[in-house]
Structures are given as structure tokens and as C-alpha cells.
């Protein structure tokens, strides 16, 4: 069976942090009266800041599945894996945005992940551990080689004051929230987190999952944290929210309020520590071996109880080994363990060989969750020192002769360029180049994918030249000279690939990905038309890449992969050749001719837009043949 590693983490916390004094600006006042219990509960839980997916008008700014998808994207962008290669998605939440379909389906649709396996988990805090365990077992059993797991919570919308208007309990003037709901109002926060699990740790920091342990105690305890009902005095559930004649009646009765049974909640600490001792007795770990205890206690109120019970069992974990971000981001329920590990992974404090014990209790109907991790650290490429500025976007410079149509064309093409380069920056492989996470194998695949379209470059230009009538000889000559220059490009690319250890046969027999197919087909189609001057728009985009972008890519790849110049010269060569070989001068001469009417200028702009989109697609669809 495979070993399983957390190779990347991500998180998403909505909007700006909300301090204690601001909470009622977002959640609102009950019956327009400031809460008398807020300060008491905040002193107990110790939380100073949290995040809400609400604005101050109590409008939802992000749905739970949207936050989960954003955390997933953050996780994948920090990894070496393309979203298209994710094999499974395991998602968790306490309460989904929609009763149907499953939460994982909604996250999947927003995540950018292609077809994959799927699992939805619904509980309270332990739901996140369930999602991790499902993904872990899938990878461990070799069912898949990788899986993304995530969790998101959006409890703030359940506690906004407007939710309680019209309920029976507030028909009396001056009525306040019951403690079982008010307690939670000042504790819970919004946010999402994600992890990528793989069967290979890669070449950077990773956490090996040694084991996961989940135990339910629902057989022994009545429901403690819940919504959708009002418990009877004996703790039983007779009528759920779906059993009312209408949803309005369920709301009027307060059945839709999220509640916590205050008389039972302390059981979770006792059960959690009981299972802690059992795991020691079962030989799963020794307390002295723990380097970090990542403990999801939902309120600071519970930490002293945990410490005291551990001491009673002869165990003391030094304060410096505890890790929690409860005080700065709040209690995010099932997403808390994800967000904590994401922060810990990015802290720079972890060292190879360290043991991390994760503890996640749940009070829904009482569940204990534990996970043991070991820090693994590979050979980091050293690319973190790369300082190329990707955010600096400059359009290729075009000289004009103060003619109105030329000036209009240049303005339009400049706008097209800005949109094009901004779009490129969101393509996964480009992000990896500039984050220093591109692997040598990924670089080789990039060369293979590009070569199949690059080799067509001189051919479509030559075809375009053959379709230019003799009356436009200067433009025809410019096309022919440009075609001659393009012949050397794919030969340089092939040599780079071979110098990186690739097989000549593989790159010579490669096929176009679906983006390359679309780009080549469009270029040949336009080149086959009579006098295809609109292809100047395509030349603007492609030559602009060489003039403004390819050098950045080449230097970034060379530095992070520690390559020689003859392994990246295809990219670096274009930066100088597309400037020095007068490629843009030819373009400028073409648009300065009398051929440039307003109608032709509009066609050039449209072709530039199409080529920009198809070139981006070529990079988005790597290896999608």
C-alpha cells in the first residue's frame, strides 16, 4: 500500500478580519439592543479576530462552496500538480449552501478540477477529518495517486439578526437569544481550507500521514450541537424542520436556529482525552515524541480543561509545542484543521522528522478525531530567490505616423495585449514558472506541447504570403521574410528538449494538444483567405510574446531548475531576436501602408483577440490530446 503525503495546502478567509468591537456591525443587534452576553462569551473563547462572508448589510459575499473552491485553487497553485490531473475531491462542511446536490459536487463545479472521483462529508468539526481520511485511504489503497480534500464553513449567515425576526421567541418585546444559540453567535467564523494528498512527497516540504483515527460516541450521548429541530425535555428528537407543514412554521418555532446543549458540551473534552490515552496504550504514539500538537479546541475555555486532564494522566505537553490560530481567525469548524496546517506549513518552523499530532473533537453528537503526521523535506530547487517581476505588464511598442486609423488600432491592440498577458498569468503552468515550483519534467512537457504548434508557424505565414496579390508586393515580401526567420524556432526548441534529457523521437512524433489544434487551424484558415492582412493581429500577439514575455519565462526556468543556456535558449532567443531581427518593424511598416482602412483595422483587432485566447488555451490544455 502507498505512503500518503500532504504535499500542498491552501486556505481562503473571506474579507477583512473582524475585531470583537465590530461583530455586531456585521451580525446585527437582536431587537436593536446591544448584546449583554457578547463580552462574557468573548472573554471565555479568547478570540480576537475572525472572518465573515457577510457585509455590514448582512448580505452574503461568498457561498461556502465558493470559499472551498478558492481554497482548493490556492492549494493546487502552490503545488506541482495541474488541476486537470486531480483524481479525487473529498469535501466537508457542517451545513451546505444547498440541501441537494452534495457539497462536493458544488465545490467541484467551481474548483477548476476536471472529471474526478467525489465524496461529500457532512458533520460538524469532524467532517473535515472525515474528508481527509477518505482521501487518505483512496491514495493509500492505490485507488488514486492523488486527491484533494477541503472543508468550508459559513455559520455567520445563521446568526445575523434578520434571521431571528418573526420567530415566536421574539414576539415579546425585549426578548433575547437563548444561551444555546447566543453562545455560538460569538464563537463561530467563516472560511475554508484545502490539502493535496499524493503518493509521492515531491522535492519540497511535505507531511506524511502516518495514521488517522476517528471514533463516534453517538450511541452513548444525545445530540449536542444541532439545527433543524427543537429537542424535547428528555433529549429526544420528535419533529424535524421538514416535518413542519411549511418552512415558515419551522422558522417561527426556532427549529432552524443553530444550537448547542450547554449542559453536555464539556463531554467532548473528556472523550477527547480518553481517546488520547487509549491511543498511547494501543502503541500508536508516545507523548514525548510529539513535536507539535495541532489542537482544534473550539474555545479557549476548553484548553485549561484539556491541560488539566492530561496532567492527571501523567502527561504534560510544553506550551511551545501547542499550535492554534483560534485567536486570530476564530473557530472555523470543519475547516479549522485545514487552515491551521496551512499556516503551520507556511510558517517556516517545521523540520524534517518532526512529529505532528492533530486533535479534532466534535460536539455534534460527539466524535473524536486524531491524525499523526511526520515532516518530510526533499531537495528544494532553490528557486525562491528568483525576483523577476511578473506583475509588470507592458504592451509591445508600435510606432505610428499620427494617422487616426493607426492610432485607433494601436489603442485597441494595447488593450488586447493587457487582457492577454493578465490571462496568461492565471494559467497553471505560467504560475508555476514564476512561483519557482516548475519541475524539469513539467518544463519538458511544455516544450513538447509548444513544439507541435511552433513548427506550423512558418507554414501559415508562407501560406498567407502566397495569398497576397502582387499589387501588395511590399506586404507579401514582409510575410515571406518573416516565414524564413520562423524556420529556426522549432529547431532551437527541439535542441533544448534533448539537452534536458528528452528523447528526440518523443518530441519529433508528438501531437498537438487541443489548444494547439485550435490555434493552428485558425491560423491556416485565415492564411488561406485572399489578402489575409488581418493576420497582422496574430503576428502582434505571437511576436509580442517573444518581445515582452519569453525572456522572463526563460530566465525564471533557467534559475529555478539550474539549467544551462542551451536548455532554455528557445525562450531567451526570442526576447532578442524579435527585437533585433526587425519583426516589429515589419509589422509597423504593414500597418503604416494605405491598406489600413478602419474596416481592416477592426479585422486585425478581432484576429488579435482570437489568437490571444487560443494561445492561452494551448497553455491551459497541456497534454490534453
At residue 473, the pLDDT reads 65
Helix (H) or strand (E) holding 216: strand 205-216
At residue 55, the pLDDT reads 95
At residue 386, the pLDDT reads 43
At residue 333, the pLDDT reads 95
At residue 391, the pLDDT reads 45
Q: 116-139 as b/e, with b when 16 or more CB fall inside 10 Å?
A: bbebbbbbbbbbbbbbbbbbbebb
Are 312 and 276 a contacting pair, CB within 8 Å? no
At residue 413, the pLDDT reads 87
Q: What 3 state SS string does 600-614 have?
A: HHHHHHHHHHHHHHH
Are 405 and 597 a contacting pair, CB within 8 Å? yes
Q: What 3 state SS string does 484-502 have?
A: HHHHHHHHHHHHHHHHCCC
Task: With CA atoms as reference, report the closest residue to 49 among 82, 83, 97, 15.
Answer: 15
Note the helical H segments in 28-125.
38-45, 64-77, 103-111
| Residue 153 to residue 334: CA distance in whole angstroms | 7
Residues of the chain falling short of pLDDT 70: 171-175, 378-402, 473-488, 574-595
Give the burial class of 99: count Cβ atoms within 10 A of its Cβ; 0-12 exposed, 13-18 middle, 19 or more buried. Answer: exposed
Q: Tell whether the torsion through CA atoms of 70, 76, 82 and 83 is positive or negative.
A: negative
| Residue 382 to residue 565: CA distance in whole angstroms | 18
At residue 395, the pLDDT reads 55
| Residue 335 to residue 26: CA distance in whole angstroms | 21
Three cell numbers at 109?
463545479
Amino acid at each position: 500500500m502507498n505512503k500518503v503525503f500532504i504535499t500542498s495546502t491552501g486556505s481562503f478567509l473571506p474579507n477583512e478580519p473582524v475585531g470583537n468591537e465590530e461583530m455586531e456591525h456585521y451580525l446585527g443587534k437582536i431587537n436593536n439592543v446591544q448584546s449583554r452576553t457578547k463580552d462574557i462569551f468573548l472573554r471565555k473563547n479568547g478570540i480576537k479576530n475572525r472572518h465573515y462572508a457577510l457585509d455590514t448589510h448582512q448580505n452574503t459575499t461568498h457561498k461556502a462552496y465558493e470559499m472551498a473552491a478558492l481554497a482548493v485553487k490556492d492549494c493546487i497553485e502552490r503545488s506541482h500538480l495541474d488541476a486537470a490531473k486531480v483524481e479525487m475531491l473529498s469535501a466537508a462542511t457542517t451545513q451546505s449552501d444547498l440541501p441537494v446536490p452534495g457539497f462536493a459536487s458544488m465545490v467541484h463545479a467551481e474548483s477548476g478540477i476536471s472529471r474526478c472521483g467525489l465524496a461529500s462529508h457532512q458533520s460538524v468539526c469532524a467532517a473535515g477529518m472525515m474528508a481527509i481520511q477518505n482521501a487518505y485511504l483512496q491514495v493509500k489503497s492505490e485507488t488514486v495517486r492523488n486527491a484533494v480534500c477541503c472543508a468550508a464553513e459559513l455559520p455567520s449567515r445563521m446568526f445575523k439578526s434578520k434571521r431571528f425576526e418573526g420567530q415566536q421567541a421574539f414576539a415579546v418585546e425585549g426578548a433575547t437569544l437563548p444561551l444555546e444559540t447566543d453562545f455560538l453567535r460569538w464563537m463561530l467564523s467563516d472560511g475554508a481550507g484545502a490539502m493535496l494528498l499524493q503518493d509521492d512527497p515531491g522535492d519540497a516540504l511535505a507531511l506524511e500521514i502516518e495514521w488517522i483515527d476517528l471514533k463516534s460516541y453517538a450511541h452513548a450521548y444525545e445530540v449536542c450541537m444541532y439545527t433543524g429541530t427543537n429537542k424535547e425535555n428528555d433529549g429526544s428528537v420528535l419533529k424535524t424542520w421538514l416535518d413542519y407543514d411549511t418552512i415558515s412554521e419551522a422558522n417561527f418555532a426556532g427549529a432552524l436556529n443553530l444550537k448547542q446543549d450547554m449542559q453536555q458540551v464539556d463531554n467532548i473534552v473528556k472523550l477527547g482525552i480518553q481517546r488520547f490515552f487509549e491511543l498511547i496504550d494501543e502503541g500508536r504514539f508516545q507523548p514525548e515524541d510529539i513535536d507539535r500538537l495541532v489542537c482544534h479546541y473550539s474555545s479557549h475555555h476548553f484548553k485549561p480543561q484539556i491541560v488539566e486532564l492530561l496532567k492527571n494522566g501523567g502527561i504534560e505537553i510544553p506550551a511551545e509545542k501547542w499550535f492554534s490560530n483560534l485567536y486570530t481567525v476564530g473557530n472555523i469548524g470543519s475547516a479549522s484543521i485545514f487552515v491551521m496546517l496551512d499556516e503551520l506549513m507556511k510558517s517556516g518552523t517545521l523540520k524534517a522528522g518532526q512529529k505532528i499530532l492533530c486533535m479534532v473533537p466534535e460536539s455534534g453528537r460527539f466524535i473524536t478525531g486524531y491524525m499523526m503526521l511526520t515532516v518530510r523535506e526533499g531537495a528544494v530547487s532553490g528557486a525562491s530567490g528568483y525576483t523577476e517581476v511578473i506583475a509588470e505588464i507592458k504592451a509591445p511598442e508600435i510606432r505610428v505616423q499620427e494617422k487616426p486609423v493607426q492610432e485607433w488600432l494601436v489603442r485597441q491592440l494595447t488593450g488586447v495585449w493587457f487582457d492577454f498577458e493578465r490571462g496568461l498569468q492565471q494559467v497553471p503552468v505560467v504560475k508555476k514558472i514564476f512561483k519557482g515550483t516548475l519541475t524539469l519534467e513539467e518544463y519538458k512537457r511544455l516544450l513538447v506541447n509548444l513544439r507541435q504548434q511552433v513548427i506550423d508557424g512558418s507554414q501559415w505565414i508562407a501560406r498567407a504570403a502566397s495569398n497576397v496579390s502582387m499589387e501588395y508586393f511590399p506586404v507579401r515580401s514582409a510575410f515571406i521574410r518573416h516565414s524564413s526567420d520562423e524556420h529556426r524556432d522549432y529547431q532551437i526548441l527541439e535542441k533544448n528538449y534533448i539537452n534536458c534529457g528528452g528523447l528526440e523521437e518523443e518530441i519529433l512524433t508528438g501531437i498537438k494538444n487541443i489548444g494547439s489544434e485550435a490555434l493552428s487551424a485558425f491560423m491556416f484558415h485565415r492564411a488561406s483567405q485572399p489578402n489575409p492582412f488581418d493576420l497582422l493581429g496574430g503576428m502582434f500577439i505571437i511576436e509580442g510574446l517573444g518581445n515582452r514575455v519569453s525572456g522572463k519565462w526563460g530566465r525564471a526556468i533557467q534559475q529555478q531548475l539550474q539549467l544551462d543556456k542551451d536548455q532554455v535558449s528557445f525562450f531567451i532567443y526570442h526576447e532578442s531576436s524579435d527585437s533585433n531581427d526587425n519583426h516589429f518593424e515589419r509589422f509597423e511598416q504593414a500597418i503604416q501602408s494605405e491598406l489600413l482602412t478602419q474596416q481592416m483595422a477592426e479585422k486585425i483587432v478581432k484576429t488579435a483577440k482570437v489568437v490571444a485566447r487560443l494561445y492561452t488555451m494551448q497553455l491551459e490544455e497541456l497534454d490534453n490530446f
